[in-house]
Amino acid sequence: MTSNEYMTMADENLIHTYNRFPVVLDHGEGVYLYDHEGKKYLDFAAGIAVFALGYHHPAFTEGVKAQMDQIIHTSNLFYSKPLAEAAKKLCEVAGMDKVFFTNSGTEAIEGAIKLAKKYAFLKDGSVDHEIIAMNHSFHGRSMGALAVTGNKHYQEAFGPMIPGIRFADYNDLASVEALVNEKTCAIILETVQGEGGIRPATKEFLTGIRNICDEKDILLILDEIQCGYGRTGTMFAFEQYGIRPDVLTVAKALGCGIPVGAFLASGKCAEALVPGDHGTTYGGNPLATAAVNQVLDIFANEGIVSYAKAIAPYLWENLESLKDEFAVIKDHRGLGLIQGLEFDESLPVGKVVSAAIERGLIVISASGNVLRFVPPLVITRENIDEMMEKLKDAISSVM
């Protein structure tokens, strides 16, 4: 069958929630992907910040395969070795007390919201608590996560949202302070907004929120589903701000492609959820947690986080030079290996993305006409040079 036939087959049968690029991906090797026709692509999207280790990493693949031969599912009515190990390792690297494994990012957010509500309920017995979230945030597509996602368009047709969610402006501490009251049980934000246009929190903003939370016993939920896991040059982005969250959500790179997410909690709130409060059939199954273990072992053995930290400035310099070269690029933002170039409205980034893909470079967009760079953490200088060459050509072709 040809690529076109596969695409037609997919379009005829899939609910049309995505406009896909006309590429049928076949396999990957390192930071390169190959399509059904054998065309090669340099991948600066990593399956949306998932494939931190690059494709077909031998230890990862072997570890996951070995688990498949052993056992892949047990339900949470039983223990498994990979589950126990992954819980210990993940709590350790995150510096958190307890973890709950989910199947996705959006489910990690659902769990974090429930934990915050339960924690507040235990204190005053009421169920009218409020959560402060941020405009231009992205936390996922299930109803709870959607309710805290500051994007009117995503919410529009799906009301009513869960009540008690208030939206403040990111990096505007006064706008958060104005919404805090005795009902506030949590403040949720991404340490670096991803989907919303690649915006790192300012130090003043994040430490200010931490102070509010400490004063009023409000839980700080940091969503590091996209920006966490080494991407910013530290295991978690919050480490660079000198603060800690009460609740942390992770997914994307957590299983490097095996679907798994998690929310972690620290301190008193880590005991808020008890048997009967929350559950999942698949969450934390041996296959998923074996992937979590492999990824964490490889991160440690290969120094992935310090490598990402060391290579990121080279990407930064290169994208800065691009900003100087093309007047149509208005801004360059990011932290570590999550960076964005904001284009003038006169050039929709979708056109740049398509032109890049034609040239064998995969980049993706983010809201606000931003070109998003979330490559595998193992990219090299040579890969960045190759990306620059292809991207310059792509931008020039659509101007």
Ligand X SMILES: *Cc1c(COP(=O)(O)O)cnc(C)c1O
Cα–Cα separations (whole angstroms), residue 16 to 4, 10, 11, 259, 266: 17, 10, 7, 22, 40
Residues 6 or more apart in contact with residue 315 via CB below 8 angstroms = 337, 339, 373, 375, 379, 384
For 7, how many CA atoms within 13 A lie in the half-sphere containing its CB?
13
CB atoms within 10 A of CB 25: 16
- For residue 362, the minimal CB distance to ligand X (Å) is 17
Q: Which helix (H) or strand (E) holds 353?
A: helix 349-358
Q: Which is nearer to ligand X, 257 or 326 (CB)?
A: 257
- Region near ligand X per CB under 6 A, out of 103-111, 343-351, 353-361, 383-391: 103-111
Which residue's Cβ lies closest to ligand X?
Answer: 105
Q: Which is nearer to ligand X, 121 or 282 (CB)?
A: 282
Residue 104 found at the interface with ligand X (CB under 6 A): yes
Q: How do the residues of the chain divide into helix, strand and coil, expressed in percent and rounded to 5?
A: 45, 20, 35
Nearest of 379, 370, 348 to residue 136 by alpha carbon: 370
Residue 232 found at the interface with ligand X (CB under 6 A): no
- For residue 222, the minimal CB distance to ligand X (Å) is 10
Nearest of 12, 15, 20 to residue 362 by alpha carbon: 20
Q: Which is nearer to ligand X, 49 or 304 (CB)?
A: 49
Tell how many helices (H) and how many strands (E) occur in the chain.
Answer: 13, 17
- For residue 368, the minimal CB distance to ligand X (Å) is 15
Residue 105 found at the interface with ligand X (CB under 6 A): yes
- For residue 145, the minimal CB distance to ligand X (Å) is 7
Residue 47 found at the interface with ligand X (CB under 6 A): no
Residues of span 126-145 touching ligand X by CB under 6 A: 138-140
| Binding footprint of ligand X, residue count (CB under 6 A) | 16
- For residue 138, the minimal CB distance to ligand X (Å) is 5
Cα–Cα separations (whole angstroms), residue 190 to 47, 62, 183, 202: 19, 33, 22, 12
- Region near ligand X per CB under 6 A, out of 102-110, 127-135, 209-217, 282-290: 102-110
Q: Which is nearer to ligand X, 86 or 329 (CB)?
A: 86
Residues of span 160-199 touching ligand X by CB under 6 A: 190, 194-195
Among the listed residues 31, 83, 115, 225, the single contact to ligand X using CB under 6 A: 225
Cα–Cα separations (whole angstroms), residue 95 to 61, 143, 202, 270, 362: 27, 29, 22, 13, 34
Residues of the shown chain interacting with ligand X in the complex, contacts defined by CB under 6 A: 104-106, 109, 138-140, 190, 194-195, 223, 225-226, 251-252, 261
